[in-house]
Every structure is written in C-alpha cells, then in structure tokens.
Amino acid sequence: MHRLACLVLVFAVPAVADEPLAVDAPPARLGVRQFPDAAVIDGPPSARELIDAREEFEARYPGVLARGRTSAGAAVLADVLIDEAAAEADRAVKWLMLAEARRMAVASGNAAAVDRAILQASATYEFDAIDEELRSLKEIPVRLLAPQRAAVFAEVAEKLAGRAESDGRINEAVTALDLAIRGWQRAGHVPAARKAAARYQELTASP
C-alpha cells in the first residue's frame, strides 16, 4: 500500500478545500488520457490543469493535504509526497504533489526537502529551478531554525550558490551565499560561515 494511502487510513478526516496551488492535471480516470513520454521535458501544468489535479488528488487521498497545515504534519508529508511523486504517472498530479511538498518543506523549515522537491520536478518540467529554490529558501525564517536544521539550510544554500555560479548567474549565487552565511551563523558554525563569507566577497568584489 502506498504511504499516502496509509495516511488516509490513519488520518480519516474530511477533505478540506484549499486554494489551488501550482500543480498538475487530472489522472487517467476515464482510461482515455494519453501521457507524454517520461523523457519529454515540458512546462508546468496550466492553472486549469492544477485545479483538476487537486480534485483528482483529493479524490484519491481525501484529507491528506489538510494534514500539512501543522508544522509536524507538514514535516512528514513533505517527504512522503516527494517519494510518492516519483512513481506518479499523471504529470499534473505529479507537479501538484511536488509543489505541495515544497510548500510544506518551507513551512516546516526543511531545506533538504525543498531541494529534493525542486530537483525532482526539474527532471520532468521546464522551469527556472534555481529561481524557484532561491525563492523558497528565502521564505524559511532562518532565525527560528534549530541549529542542526540551520546547518542543513546552509548546506543547501551553498550548493544552490554553486549551481547558480556554474550557470553564470552571479546575482543568484551571491543571494544564495548570503542565505548560507545566515544559516551557518544560526547553526553556530563559525568556520563555515567565514568560508561562505569569503566566497561572497570574491563574487561581489569589483573587477
């Protein structure tokens, strides 16, 4: 049994209507929908497809997304959604699952899950993954993170800075490094904070 189906059994609560998030389209309930080849990279679903995808997901797993409204629930669901999305055939529902996972990862301060959700989505959909991850990390209140979680946040931000720099996106790399510095400071890891700050200075130094 899928982990999401298990959650439905454990949390037998009525489905709660949410505003549609950026996600995918409905699955092949009627047996006529054609899915694109897995190797095809296309853009995210449309707003209409996302609404349909949410309805489809709620029909399959009633009330599950509502469990992510608490910090503890969001922490659990983020990882479950990412894992289950890997085998999801409906591109719209897959996007919905990964978008919800990203949102819940932000809400629970789990930068590693943010990174996983966005990188997994980038393997199937064409979108600006660097910008999306940077925006998501900026939504996490670093000052409220526990030291261990802050260290993970800093590691993720530094890796993002590296990807941005490799793509020639220096502004994004600098912003990510600034987040990494704040994460290392919150974690109390002075050497790592100094190393990130040194790289920050190198990238912002006048030519």
Q: Report pLDDT digits (tens) over 161-179.
A: 999 999 999 999 999 999 9
Domain shared by 106 and 165, yes or no: no
Looking at residue 108, its pLDDT comes to 95
The residue type found at 133 is E
Domain count, the chain: 2
Q: Which of 9-13, 80-84, 97-101, 190-194 has the lowest mean pLDDT?
A: 9-13
CB 13 within 8 A of CB 67: yes
Question: Could you list the residue range(s) of the whole structural domain that residue 18 is in?
Answer: 1-127
Domain shared by 116 and 92, yes or no: yes
* The pair of three-digit structure tokens given for residue 107, joined into one six-digit string: 């809400």
CB 173 within 8 A of CB 165: yes
Q: Which of 23-27, 100-104, 139-143 has the lowest mean pLDDT?
A: 23-27
Cα distance between the two ends of the chain: 58
Domain shared by 119 and 153, yes or no: no
Whole-angstrom distance, CA of residue 114 vs CA of residue 36:
26
**16, 155, 172 from 204: Cα distances, Å:** 47, 20, 12
Overall pTM surpassing 0.85 (yes/no): no
Whole-angstrom distance, CA of residue 125 vs CA of residue 206:
37
Domain boundary (99, 127, 155) is at 127
Whole-angstrom distance, CA of residue 114 vs CA of residue 122:
12
Domain shared by 75 and 159, yes or no: no
Name the residue with tokens 């669901």. Answer: 77
Give yes or no for residue 157 having a pLDDT over 60: yes
Q: Specify if 135 maps to a domain.
A: no
Domain shared by 43 and 73, yes or no: yes
Specify the DSSP element, H or E, that contains 123: none
Domain shared by 51 and 89, yes or no: yes
Q: Specify if 196 maps to a domain.
A: yes
Looking at residue 7, its pLDDT comes to 56
Q: Specify if 132 maps to a domain.
A: no
Domain shared by 120 and 147, yes or no: no
Looking at residue 132, its pLDDT comes to 97
Domain shared by 157 and 207, yes or no: yes
Domain shared by 123 and 153, yes or no: no
Domain boundary (127, 156, 190) is at 127
Domain shared by 2 and 92, yes or no: yes
Q: Specify if 1 maps to a domain.
A: yes
DSSP codes joined into one string, 125-145: B-S-HHHHHHHHHHHS-GGGS
